[in-house]
Amino acid sequence: MLKPLDKREATLGALAIALGVAVVVVARGFPGGSIYDALGPRLLPYIVGAGLALSGLSILIGAFRRANEYEALDLAPVLWIVAALIIPVTLIRVIGWIPVAALVFALGARAFGSRRVWLDLALGLAFGAITFVLFNYGLGLNLPAGSWIR
């Protein structure tokens, strides 16, 4: 017999599926490489979109399988992660890779319970700078530096 549906959890699952589908649809507009170039600019958004959709599907299935016997869903971490997903899309061209990486790292750490904002930002800056150097100078793939540097 079907247990009562947790509407909040079902809504979260449906929104994650919708966000995953939206990421894949938007990524279809990205320039693609040749048929032999599997590692084009579309690959990572496809992976992220598929991950979001599959995660949403598992959350949605869980909403149908479980009764309301567990603690309430804490939306704060979800909102921190949503902010970490929106910031790169909106700010990467303006402020560049390194500050965006720092913000995303700090927001992700906050979602997992960290309260050390300055340390998280410093670690994010370090990771952003290291990946910037590795990608731009090691691999020859140019990450955006941001318009404020020019």
Q: What pLDDT score does 38 carry?
A: 59
pLDDT, residue 17, reads 93
pLDDT given at position 88 = 83
Q: Over 70: is that where the pLDDT of 150 sits? A: no
DSSP state of 40: S
**Rounded CA Rg of the chain:** 18
What share of the chain has pLDDT > 70, as a percent? 83
pTM of the predicted protein model = 0.54
- Give domain limits for the chain: 1-72, 74-150
**Does residue 67 surpass a pLDDT of 60?**
no
Picking from 83, 54, 50, 62, the residue whose alpha carbon sits closest to that of residue 8 is 62
Both tokens of 86, joined, read 């929106």
In this structure, what token pair is assigned to residue 110? 């906050």
Q: Give the whole-angstrom CA distance, residue 55 versus residue 13.
A: 7
Average pLDDT over residues 60-66: 78
**Mean pLDDT of the 79-103 span:** 84
